Amino acid sequence: MLIDLKQQPADALLALIKLHNADPRADKIDLGVGVYRTGQGETPVFGAIKAAEKKLVETQDSKAYLGPEGDMGFVEALMPYVFGKDSPSMGGRIEGMQTPGGTGSLRLALAMVKRAGYKRLIVGKPSWPNHNQICADLGLEVLEFNHARADGTTDMDAIRTALADAGEADAVLLHGCCHNPTGIDYSNAEWDEIAGLLAERKVLPVIDLAYQGLGRGMEEDAYGVRRVLAAVPEAMVCYSCDKNFGLYRDRVGALYAMVADPADLAKVMSNAHALARANWSQPPDHGGAAVRLILEDEALTAQWLDELDQMRDRMRQVRARLAEAGKTGGVDLTPIGIQNGLFSIIPFTPEQVQAMRSEHGIYFAGSGRINVAGLTMGNIDKFIAAVADVTG
């Protein structure tokens, strides 16, 4: 019976939205769920998106179904940004489809991993908690390795060992850029080595690229994806436009599969289409169509890239200011300066996380993950003082 179902805890990250909203203090700070905020603490719709939406309303003449693959104009328009302008489909070896956000893409990719008979998914820890939740729901065995060291650098020995023990029956999930939750990314040289190991061990790479453009730049953030795809016969890339186009609630993503022989692509993608049909049938159209209109228009593309540059610059400034604070109470904020994207982890104890909430009205994940975009030049000093207070 339905009433035999057990009570489930609310998703810890999404629960932070409500916790923060319920706090009456005017100077509370929300460093929880990963949305970008301006220096004024707002998450406005991109100007380029507003313009594209206006155009969409004026020109769209039908809302009839498009099929499980969604808007293929959108899917293909993104490809030069992800895979490079020179050969966006790598000679016909890559095809994609639209998905409901990055989560829809991950769900589909991991269901494909399962369906293709892979036994294990190798994942660096900590990772975005939903990675493990999706695997648990699919019944996919997860093998974890340590992603980063305490000093804020990647733990290359751990991934070397994990891949040395892996083989053809394994897939590995990698964060393309702006690692969530640590902000600690592989350097280009490290990606070179990882690409070689993946090819040697014949492990299937699944790359989660949810923050392209928010780390070091659109091209720079694609280095890992391109390097890995150049080295291996098969791979999948899970893409999200929710952050780099600010479309969070519109759920805009894409799944790309690469195979060795273009002749096999239709067969492989037919599985992704069938799985999508059995899950959500067809992706929501609006956000993807707006992205397509931007990417089809040179001026709108330039406007979008400019807006993205401003976001990245602001996050760099926040990171620089935190790094400048250096040793603060019992923690060192210096490594945050060289990390990428929306997130970094501060090694708070669970009690310190609670104290930050109850004593200072500062909300972030229980893992100690902060969304640096929640900090502004107006609240950052309060944050640093609170860190010193609870960890000192």
Closest CB to ligand LMR among 30 and 95? 30
Cα gap 224→192, rounded to integer Å: 8
DSSP 8-state assignment for residue 154: B
239 binds ligand LMR (CB under 6 A): no
Cα gap 275→303, rounded to integer Å: 36
Cα gap 200→308, rounded to integer Å: 36
13 binds ligand LMR (CB under 6 A): yes
Rg of the chain, C-alpha, whole Å: 21
Cβ proximity of 297 and 291 under 8 Å: no
Catalytic residue check, 4: no
CA neighbor of 257 nearest in space, from 92, 383, 380: 92
Q: Which residues ranging from 110 to 139 are in contact with ligand LMR (CB under 6 A)?
A: 128, 130
Catalytic residue check, 18: no
Residue whose beta carbon is closest to ligand LMR = 34
176 binds ligand LMR (CB under 6 A): no
Cβ proximity of 28 and 20 under 8 Å: yes
Closest CB to ligand LMR among 224 and 374? 374
CB 365 to ligand LMR: min, Å: 8
Cα gap 88→69, rounded to integer Å: 18
CB 308 to ligand LMR: min, Å: 17
Catalytic residue check, 114: no
Q: CA of 132: how far to CAs of 102, 103, 106, 121, 135, in Å?
A: 15, 12, 11, 10, 5
CB 386 to ligand LMR: min, Å: 21
Q: How many CB atoms lie within 10 A of CB 197?
A: 18
Per CB under 6 A, the list member of 99, 154, 180, 344 interacting with ligand LMR is: 180
Closest CB to ligand LMR among 33 and 148? 33
Q: Catalytic: which of 30, 243, 285, 304?
A: 243
Per CB under 6 A, the list member of 34, 70, 126, 205 interacting with ligand LMR is: 34
> Which residues in this chain contact ligand LMR in the complex, by CB under 6 A?
13, 33-34, 128, 130, 180
Residues noted as catalytic: 128, 208, 243
